[in-house]
Amino acid sequence: MKKVVLVAALALVGLTVSAQDGLKLGANLGLPVGDAGDVSGFSIGLDAQYMFETAGEFDLGVAAGFTNAFGKTIGDGNFSVEVDDVQFLPLAGVARFSASEEISVGVDLGYALGISDGNDGGFYYRPTVGYAVSDNIEINASYTGISLDGGTWSTINLGVLFGL
């Protein structure tokens, strides 16, 4: 079942990449916090968004991505365990509000597919604040939360998006 969902997600990204109007591609670095910080030191992610202009300062769109959180070695000198990397494939709807020419705020809401072993994924949310450096480059800060069975996987992120 995971393979079918993965193929569907990649097809969505492929369709998004073939369109040019409103397409943004980017990358981010994340610092796991809370329970996630106990087992992971940092994360990297890739993002793809397609935004549709709506009335006024609001834009809506779709997003897909990939996140890999690198596992830590935990324990003391006598006994230690190496934690595997944790990987997610988030698929979300995106809403953005342009507060000014340079500043935007918004949220991504959807589902993050867990693609590493033993990771079922969960509800995905990502509030974001962006600063447009130029017409085609945005620096953003975000908080990512993924509601898992029995907890939440959380990261604080800094990223860049490039408009194509």
- Model confidence at 9: pLDDT above 60: no
The pLDDT, as a whole number, for residue 14 is 46
User: In terms of Cα–Cα distance, which of 25, 26, 28, 23 is closest to 59?
Assistant: 23
Residues 6+ apart with CB under 8 A from 114: 86, 87, 88, 120, 121, 122, 148
The pLDDT, as a whole number, for residue 7 is 45
- Model confidence at 20: pLDDT above 80: no
Domain ranges of the chain: 2-163
Q: What is the mean pLDDT of residues 13-20?
A: 41
Say if domain 2-163 classifies as CATH 3.40.30.10: no
| Interval 95-110: pLDDT, tens | 999 999 999 999 999 9
Q: What is the mean pLDDT of residues 38-63?
A: 93
